[in-house]
Copies of this chain bind each other. A is one copy, B any other.
Amino acid sequence: MKTVDMLQSHPKGKSANLEAIAACVAACLECADACTICADACLAEEKIAMLRRCIRTDLDCADICRTTATILARQGERNMEIVISQLHACAVACRICATECEQHAEMHRHCRICASACRTCEMVCHQTISMLQGGKTYEPDH
C-alpha cells in the first residue's frame, strides 16, 4: 500500500498537494519509528545514565510524530490552524531530538540513524507548513 494511493481514494482526494502530504505523513511515521527504537536501544546501553535526556526526548518526539501523522493523513474538513500548529510542534520536537541524538551519534548507531530521521522530518514539516500556507510564515495566534 502506498499512502498516496490511499489519499487519492478519498472523495475529495484531488488536491495537487497529495504527494507532498503523503511524503510528510511518511516522514513523521519513520521518525516515530526511529525514535521509539532509539529510546529502547538507549535503555539497553551499558552507559544508560548518560542517555537519560536522549530517551526522554525520543519518547516525546515519537508521540508527537505519531499524532502529527494521524492528523495530517485526514483530508476531510481539515482545519488549517490545527494542522499547522501541530506540524510546528512536530518540527520543534524533531529539531531538539536531532540535536540530542547527534551528540551520541559517534558512539551509537541508533542515535545516528535517529538523528537523520529527525532532521528529515523537521525539514519536511517546515516544507508542508509553507505549502499549506501558500508560502506565508507561520504566525501563532498569541
Contact = CB atoms under 8 A, between A and B. Distances in A.
Interface of A: 1, 3, 5-7, 9-13, 25, 29-30, 33-34, 36-38, 40-41, 43-46, 48-49, 52-53, 55-57, 59-64, 66-67, 69-71, 73-79, 81-82, 85-86, 88-89, 92-93, 96, 108-110, 112-114, 116-117, 126, 137-138, 140-142
A4 to B, nearest CB: 10
Contacts of A112: 9
Contacts of A38: 6
A48 B56 CA distance: 14
A1 B46 CA distance: 25
Copies in the complex: 4
Q: Which 3 A-B pairs have the closest CB atoms?
A: A9-B110, A9-B109, A44-B76
A88 B36 CA distance: 21
A126 B69 CA distance: 24
Contact of A74 (B5, B56, B126): B56
Given A37-B7, A52-B76, A82 B63 contact: no
Given A71-B60, A74-B40, A75-B44, A6 B113 contact: yes
